[in-house]
Structures are given as structure tokens and as C-alpha cells.
Amino acid sequence: MSRAKRATVGELESVYRAQFNAFLRTGTAYLDDVDAARDAVQDGVATAIRKRASYRGEGTLEAWLWSIVLNAIRDRHRERAHAQMLAADAVDAFAAVTEGEPMDDVRDAVRRLPERQRLVLFLRFYADMDYGTIAALLGISEGTVGASLNAARTTLRGLLQEVGA
Amino acid sequence: MSERTMLMRLVEEAETVEPDWQDALRRAGFAARHRPRLAARRVLVLAVVLVGVLYAVAAIAADEPGWRIRYWLFDRSPETYPTTQAATVGAWSRAERVDGLVSTDEGYVPNVVTLPVLHGEVVGRRFEVKAFFREWAFGQDHLCIGFEPGGTPKPWHGTNVPAVGGSSCGAPMHGLRPQGESDLHWVGATVHVPGPIEPTGGGTGPKYLFGPAAPNVRHVDLESRDGTVVRVATFAGPPDLGVRVRLWVAVLRLDHLVHTIVPRDDEGEALEHWHLPSAY
């Protein structure tokens, strides 16, 4: 990964294209909705383009863009959670429609994980990040990353055993 | 089913979505086009404008010498030549011109089979001079002086062709035919400029003044209105012409105008002050 003192639009485009699938997989898993994930990723990248002058070369451009996109995804999640609280009936209807599909158990199992564990899990599996990168991105130690990932996998396995997936 | 497989199946829809950079740019408030393309378009527009300006300048410069870039940017003004000049010359020779006749581009075949040629140098510039008599109308022969700057005639001049870079015949001069002229001089004078001449009279130059001189003329003074005098020494003409004549060659800046020619004898006495009807 190369270091750059200032991010140009062209450099951002390169990182965007290289990381787009990882962005979208993480967003889709986090938001449970590919359209919402795409919207959040695009908004996050747009924010990065506008604020590119604030990138000072401290850390890689990839990590800088990831932090912005991840914030956009989390913001979108909060917005959706708030909206779902206001429209609980709609959520119930959605649950009713999707009930019984094989992957729903897995989805529910993942959804029940604490947020940190989910993020660590997603960044590890969907973005193929190492512990150090995840730690820097989330502002936690590498030990915490390892512990969170281990806990998430243990919990996930237990939950999946419970639901028989 | 492994953990990885399960997790990847959760997001398999995401694999079908393609990145859309233009959409990200639009959301960021950028124009629809990528910035580099915008920059390329600006460069193209600038290039078109630049070509237009250069075309206009070139068009103006074609008529206005003051616009000539070489005068703006480079000191290409003609060099100044010494005010005292004496040609260093070799011997007259007919050997160079005896190989036959060559037609000119216009198809003229010279009626002079051999003619004497002399190579020389003045202020570092080589030249070639020819001197011969040519039959003129009414049975009179005129002395012709041919002059070639650089010392190498153009190919089409041929071996025996008296046509040269500059030439003149029949100068009304004391001691030479044609006799009977009412206004005889002690020298003849011809100007030759091998390079281009600007409309203002400027140019790369230099210009050459040359001509015959009567046998008693040892120097020729070329006087300008500003008091500048260029003195050149004469040298002997071909010994076998059948007439005694001397020649002179001077090199001047193109903008150095000569208004009066003063031939002087070996005592330095002025034989005449020939005020030229138009400056050379």
C-alpha cells in the first residue's frame, strides 16, 4: 500500500474500484440490504471525495476511505433502526415474509451478535483485513480484534447449532 | 457448510453490483464528467485558441515586419562590416569554364565559350567574379561583370554560362566601351543581395556592391548620408580581356545605404563624387 500526502480524485477512484466489492459485502451484511448498502457506500465515497483535502497521508488511503465508508454504513444503520422503530409493523411484516428461508437462521444469528463482533467478523471475512488493519480502523487493539473475532465465531457456531443450520 | 461459505451466501447479492464512480462523483457535487476528462477538454479548448492566436499573429506578421518574432526574441540584426575592405583574390582562370555549354532553365545557350573566373574573399566572405565582353546591339561589345557570393555558382549556371547571382553589363565608364555616353564615370556599381529583403529594407543580408573601375582607380569610397565611409581597394581585372580594367567588391549591412561613390587614384585624389540617383 502506498502512502500519499494528498489524495487526488484519481487515487480515490482507484481505491474505490479495488475495494468496492469489500465495501458492498460489508455494508450488505451490516445493513442486511444490498440496496441500502450500495447507497451508503456511494454516499461514503462521495463524502471522501469532498473531504479528500483532509487526508494528510497519515495511514494508507485505503484505511482512510474505509473509515469513511464504514461510518456511512453505520450511520445508515442507525437511520434504518430509527425508521424501523417508527414502523414496527413493517418490520414484522418483513419478518413474516422471510420466515422459513434457509439463510434466515444464519442472518438472524449474525444479527444477534454484538456490533463490535459483527464489524470485526465482516471486516475479517468480507474485506480480508488483517488484525492490525481492523484494529486501526475500529480504534481497538489487535488483542481485542482477536478476542472479538473468536467470540463472534464461537457465538455464531453456537447459534447455528441451536437453529440447526 | 463452513462459516465462510455461510457468511458469503449472506451477501451474494452484493457480488452482482458494479461500482459506479460517476454516481459517486455526482453525489460529491462534481460535474457529470470525470475531472481528468474535463481537464482534457480544457486543454483542447486552450490548444484551439492558441492555434487561432498563432494563426492571426502569423497573418499579421506576413504584412507587418515589426511583428517578426526573430526581431523580438533574437538579436539577428545583420553584423557590421569593416569600413576598410580589401579583397584577397587568386588568379584569373579560363580553365574552369572550358568544358562546354550548358543551357539555363529557360533554355538559353550562352554565346560565351570561355570566360575568365576569379575567386576571392573579402571580410571573410568568399566570392567569385567573372568578367567578359558580350556583344550588344548595334555591334557594340559591353563589359559584363558577374558576381557570385559564396564562391560557388548555382548548378544551372553551368560551366560556361555567364549568368550569375548578380551581374551587370555596359557600365558607362571612362576607357571602356560604350563610348559616346554623355555621363561617364570612373567606376561602375551593381548591388546584389543574395538573401531575402524585408519590406522595411531589413533582412539577413549582407549585401554586396561590386563593379568595374578604370585602371587608375585604386580605392572606391562608399559614402553614406550619416558620414560613414567604407573604403575598398580595387584589384586587377582579367589580363586577357583586351582592355585594362580593375574591379572592386564591398560587403555591407543590408541597411547600410550608400548615396555617393568616390573613386580615388593612387594619390588618393577623388576622381569624382558620383551621387547616386537612388541609394544602394
Residues in A closer than 8 angstroms to B28, CB to CB, are 45-47, 49-50
* pLDDT at res. B271: 93
User: Residues of B near A (CB-CB distance < 8 A)?
Assistant: 1, 3-4, 6-11, 13-15, 17, 19-21, 23-30, 34-36
**Whole-angstrom Cα distance, residue A76 to residue A90?**
18
> Long-range pairs for A31-36 at CB < 8 Å and ≥24 separation?
A31/A73, A31/A76, A31/A77, A31/A80, A32/A107, A32/A111, A33/A80, A34/B11, A34/B13, A34/B14, A34/B17, A36/A76, A36/A80
A20 contacts chain B (CB < 8 A):
yes
Of B153 and A154, more confident:
A154
Amino acid A109: pLDDT: 81
Highest mean pLDDT among A148-157, B1-10, B96-105: A148-157
Q: Taking CB atoms and an 8 Å limit, are B11 and A24 in contact across chains?
A: yes
The mean of the pLDDT values for chain B is 77
**pLDDT score at B175:** 76
ipTM surpasses 0.85:
no
Residues 126-145 of chain A whose Cβ lies under 8 A from any Cβ of chain B: 126
Query: What count of other Cβ atoms lies within 10 Å of the Cβ of residue B244?
Result: 13
Give the pLDDT band of residue A103 (cuts 50, 70, 90): low
User: pLDDT tens across B167-208, in order?
Assistant: 777 788 887 755 566 678 999 999 888 765 555 555 567 889
* C-alpha grid cell, residue A37: 448498502
> In angstroms, what separates the C-alpha of B17 from chain A's closest C-alpha?
8
Segment B61-68 mean pLDDT = 57
Q: Which of B6, B17, B26 faces A34 most closely, judged by CB atoms?
A: B17
Strand order in the sheet with B219-223: B84-86, B229-233, B219-223, B260-264, B274-275
What gap in Å lies between CA B83 and CA B221, rounded to an integer?
A: 9
Q: Of A23-32, A41-50, A118-127, B70-79, where does mean pLDDT reach its minimum?
A: B70-79
Confidence of residue A3 (pLDDT cuts 50, 70, 90): very low
How many CA atoms lie less than 13 Å away from B19 in the CB half-sphere?
17
CB B260 within 8 A of CB B223: yes
Q: What is the pTM of this model?
A: 0.45
Pick the more confident residue, B82 or B36.
Answer: B82
Cβ contact B14–A25 (<8 Å) = yes
* Residues of chain A found within 8 Å of residue B21, distances taken between Cβ atoms: 13, 16-17
A17 touches B: beta carbon within 8 Å: yes
Question: Considering only alpha carbons, which residue of chain A is nearest residue B4?
Answer: A125
Mean pLDDT calculated for residue range B28-51:
78
